[in-house]
Amino acid sequence: MPPATTSDAAALARDFDLRRLSPEFYANPYPVYHALRTHEPVKRMPDGSLFLTRFRDVQAVYRDPKTFSSDKTVEFRPKYGDSPLYAHHTTSLVFNDPPRHTRVRKLIAGALTARAIAAMEPGLVRLVDGLLDAAAERGRIDLIGEFASAIPVEIIGNLLDVPHAERAPLRDWSLAILGALEPSLSDAQLERGNRAVSEFVDYLSGLVAQRRREPGDPLHDVLTRLIQGEEGGEQLSEAELLQNCIFILNAGHETTTNLIGNGLVTLAEWPEQRAALLREPSLIESAVEECLRFESSNQLGNRMAALDAEIGGVPVARGTPVTLCIGAANRDPEQFAEPDRFDIRRAPNRHLAFGFGIHQCAGLSLARLEARIAIGRFVQRFPAYRLHGEPTRGGRVRFRGFAEVPVELDPAARRTP
């Protein structure tokens, strides 16, 4: 999309409505984000909510969880009614405030220590290499269905010790539940999301009952840790336990799939950056950070003003919903020089892809490990991989990624190194 003129940009900002988005926006939202940041950085939506695009404003809201609440019990009622989706999203970690948020996050984080994550690396390398071997035999691959999505399902399935034979429905359940977080929903999307929550809860109820009878190692098995709770502390209710298991499986799945897929597509589209990574494999850590910034897997966050406040000089009344546009904040020229340039050496790179503050992603170290191994080993194994046709976008504004990315592999690299 060519750069917008000043008048075009002003019109883009004026006419922007999160509930009425064009196909062009789904393909490339960044010109609209730039227009909003320039002309209406604190944009009042037709429904009265606010949409933030400046880095400093988004970060300021993240810094102040007392003023800007994550609790969705009021905001989600009109959207979901009394439904399984409402029960799930108002109980899971990400949409709660302290003290419930603090209690659940502590239990999850206790199983995601640096030592526990490091112990996952050898198995992750074996998994990725197996997927690459299979791709080499075919000479082609769908980056999403045959690679990126297979990695987090395995890792998070292992964290909760879900039997391998029972993991097949996890991706579809996750896509249906997270898809229901989009700003505007069809009846079919709502029905699919509600059915997914119900089926997920039914499945997990049996798994939890089995784990109560035969506990795992709480240092590595997050489900056992959630069941047992903190020693001498308060245990989770059955509803909290089941809904946060769904949250863990979903949160660790879709965003990491998008990170890996977006990263490999972006590297294919910026060949000089891919060449630099091939020359210097040690750049993979900073390359992953730039993938996170440049095409953030999670583009939007939400808060509700719990008190009268002010954002960027604009008064905000108590009860106002606020959308934090992470994708726009991570392209803010006030924070990032040449923000639309993909630069795997970018430093500093203090992006907001994992959020900020008390709600910063609890699994960020695990996501970084998965991306580092998956992207790094794919590029080294298939240095001349190329997109075969146009990738198919996932069709979402909140979670930015692809549904399908057909790729042709370098014939000279179709052997185990």
* Residues pairing with 57 in the sheet: none
pLDDT value at position 233? 67
Residue 249 pLDDT grade (very low, low, confident, very high; cuts 50, 70, 90): confident
Is a pLDDT exceeding 60 seen at residue 162? Answer: yes
Q: CA triplet 3, 396, 195: central angle to 5 degrees?
A: 175
Residue type at 268 in one-letter notation: A
Q: Cβ-count burial of 387 within 10 angstroms (0-12 exposed, 13-18 middle, 19+ buried)?
A: middle
Pick the CATH number of 74-281+357-413 from 3.10.310.10, 3.90.226.10, 1.10.630.10, 3.90.1170.50: 1.10.630.10
pLDDT value at position 411? 65
pLDDT value at position 232? 64
In 58-146, at which residue ranges do the beta strands (DSSP E only) sit? 68-69, 140-142
Q: Cβ-count burial of 209 within 10 angstroms (0-12 exposed, 13-18 middle, 19+ buried)?
A: exposed
DSSP assigned state of 399: B
Query: What does the pLDDT look like over 174-183, one tens digit per residue?
Result: 999 999 999 8
| φ, ψ of residue 18 in degrees (nearest 5) | -60, -20
Proportion of the chain above pLDDT 90, given as a percent: 76
Query: What does the pLDDT look like over 51-87, one tens digit per residue?
Result: 999 999 999 999 999 999 999 999 899 999 999 999 9
Query: What does the pLDDT look like over 84-104, one tens digit per residue?
Result: 999 999 998 889 998 888 888
Q: Which two tokens stand for residue 252?
A: 């660790």
Cα of 194 vs its chain's centroid, Å: 21
Rounded Cα–Cα distance for residues 65 and 42 (Å): 19
Is a pLDDT exceeding 70 seen at residue 415? Answer: no
Question: 281 and 380 in contact (C-beta within 8 Å)?
Answer: yes
Query: What does the pLDDT look like over 275-290, one tens digit per residue?
Result: 999 999 999 999 999 9
| φ, ψ of residue 97 in degrees (nearest 5) | -105, 165
Question: 53 and 328 in contact (C-beta within 8 Å)?
Answer: yes
Residue type at 344 in one-letter notation: I
For 337-359, what is the mean pLDDT? 96
Sequence-separated (6 or more) residues with CB below 8 Å from residue 393: 26, 27, 401, 402, 403
Residue type at 140 in one-letter notation: R
For 284-299, what is the mean pLDDT? 97
Q: Cβ-count burial of 173 within 10 angstroms (0-12 exposed, 13-18 middle, 19+ buried)?
A: buried
Residue type at 101 in one-letter notation: H
Distances (CA, A) of 3 to 7, 35, 210, 215, 335: 12, 10, 57, 58, 20
Rounded Cα–Cα distance for residues 168 and 203 (Å): 12
Cα of 325 vs its chain's centroid, Å: 13
Cα of 123 vs its chain's centroid, Å: 23
Torsion angle, alpha carbons of 2, 342, 117, 364, to 10 = -50
pLDDT value at position 51? 98
Q: CA triplet 306, 364, 84: central angle to 5 degrees?
A: 55
- Nearest-CA neighbor of 260 among 132, 113, 139, 172? 132
Rounded Cα–Cα distance for residues 383 and 377 (Å): 10
Is a pLDDT exceeding 90 seen at residue 252? Answer: no
pLDDT value at position 417? 47
Is a pLDDT exceeding 90 seen at residue 248? Answer: no
For 302-319, what is the mean pLDDT? 97
Is a pLDDT exceeding 80 seen at residue 6? Answer: no
For 151-163, what is the mean pLDDT? 90
Is a pLDDT exceeding 70 seen at residue 319? Answer: yes
Is a pLDDT exceeding 60 seen at residue 316? Answer: yes
Rounded Cα–Cα distance for residues 346 and 350 (Å): 10
Mean per-residue pLDDT of the chain: 92
Q: Which two tokens stand for residue 258?
A: 């998008």
Is a pLDDT exceeding 90 seen at residue 221? Answer: no
The 3-class SS string of 292-304 reads HHHCCCECEEEEE
pLDDT value at position 4? 60
Residue type at 369 in one-letter notation: L
Rounded Cα–Cα distance for residues 307 and 327 (Å): 26
Q: Cβ-count burial of 139 within 10 angstroms (0-12 exposed, 13-18 middle, 19+ buried)?
A: exposed
